[in-house]
Amino acid sequence: MSKLKYLLVYTLPLITAFAFTNDGAWSWATVIYAFGILPILDHVFRPNTQNLSPQAAQSALASWFYDLVLYLVFPVQIAFTFYFILVVAKSDLSTANLIGKTLSMGTMASVLAINVAHEIGHRPGKSNKFISKALYASVLYSHFYEEHNYGHHRNVATIDDPATARRGEWFYLFVFRSIIFGWIGAFKYEKTRLNRLGKSAFSFKNEVLIWQLLQLLILVVIGGLISLKVLGLFMLSSLMSVVILEAINYIEHYGLTRNKVSEFRYEKVNPTHSWNANYVLGRAILFELTRHSDHHETPSKPFQILESPGGTPELPTGYPGMILLSLVPPLFFAVMNKRLDKWCKTS
């Protein structure tokens, strides 16, 4: 597929707009698309492990197209956040319609807010940092910037990383653990940064704290100026996005571990410490997040030149299908533990 494949990310807001303007089952359109249609299409189109040639990679890095597609998501996500609030503020919507539209918003935002914030957040510069955190804040998860960039990438595939699922760990317990300890970790990393600069962690220099206060302000404005109902639906939508994020965390490193090379140090992160998926639709819509091994080896590498290194653990289906599978832990273990056993025997 050509570079135009990355425009597929905009199918999500298009379908979400359809969900917002229609009732009944159509209110759930984005959920149906993401977890009904995409898992099927992942197996209609064959996985593609082909990498760009060095010349093509240089051309991709020089092209403005990829940045345009990526950064345009930012205003779309912010606009849809306001759009969602206006839609669910209507008094004539049934509970089923409200829930459908809310979960459709949450499903869309898991990609437009969180996944895009993740990609931009690995790029240098204060403006990229601001955009990333603003996108995270639109789903009340701004602390993920610190936890992911300074914690997960350092501790991945070890017991120290709350975002790495242990073998046999149920998805539901993992989500609870990852959220709680990820939030704690973000404050810990920010406190360490400030202490190194000789500054107090309890000050306006604490970016985690400041963004938490901004998120609280968002909630106060929605609840105070609009209604508690809309506040609750906004929080539910954000929770949906967060749960999808944590489901992706769950499947990306499930059961994979790094060996200790000394009492205080683990082996270097390498491509064998992430599960990969080369299904073409997921690659396009998620800006190549599913080529996760290469991302962990070089976190700053732009999405358009991420590679499939080969010789890495491979998921049996794309991310949407794997998320559904994770909801049934015994079935997930039956599928994944066999693959994990085969991989561990070769490592």
Tell me the C-alpha distance between 316 and 55, whole Å: 31
Give, in order, the Cα–Cα distances in Å from 105 to each of 147, 253, 258.
24, 27, 37
Identify the DSSP state of 276.
Answer: B
Instruction: Write down the residue that tokens 């992911």 correspond to.
Output: 148
Tell me the C-alpha distance between 293 and 163, whole Å: 15
Give, in order, the Cα–Cα distances in Å from 246 to each of 141, 179, 224, 249, 256.
11, 8, 30, 5, 16
**Contact between 106 and 27 (Cβ < 8 Å):** no
Tell me the C-alpha distance between 247 and 71, whole Å: 25
Tell me the C-alpha distance between 30 and 34, whole Å: 6
Q: Domains of the chain: which residue ranges?
A: 3-346
Please identify every stretch of the chain with a pLDDT value under 70, giving residue numbers as ranges: 1, 344-347
Per-residue model confidence (pLDDT) at position 79: 98
Per-residue model confidence (pLDDT) at position 346: 43
Buried b (16+ CB within 10 A) or exposed e, 301-315: bbbbbbbbbeebbbb
Per-residue model confidence (pLDDT) at position 191: 94
DSSP 99-130: HHHHHHHHHHHIIIIIIHHHHHHTS-SHHHHH
Identify the DSSP state of 334.
Answer: H
Per-residue model confidence (pLDDT) at position 262: 84
Residue 50: φ, ψ to 5°: -70, 135
Both structure tokens of 1: 């597929």
Residues 6+ apart with CB under 8 A from 219: 140, 231, 234, 235
**Contact between 107 and 100 (Cβ < 8 Å):** no
Contacts of 34-37 spanning 24+ positions with Cβ under 8 A: 34/107, 34/320, 35/107, 35/320, 35/323, 35/324
Give the pTM.
0.96
Other beta carbons within 10 Å of 82: 9
Buried b (16+ CB within 10 A) or exposed e, 235-272: bbbbbbbbbbbbbbbbbbbbbbbbeeeeeeebeebebb
3-state secondary structure of 259: coil
Per-residue model confidence (pLDDT) at position 37: 96
> How do residues 31-83 score in pLDDT, each as one tens digit?
999 999 999 998 898 889 999 999 999 999 999 999 999 999 999 999 999 99
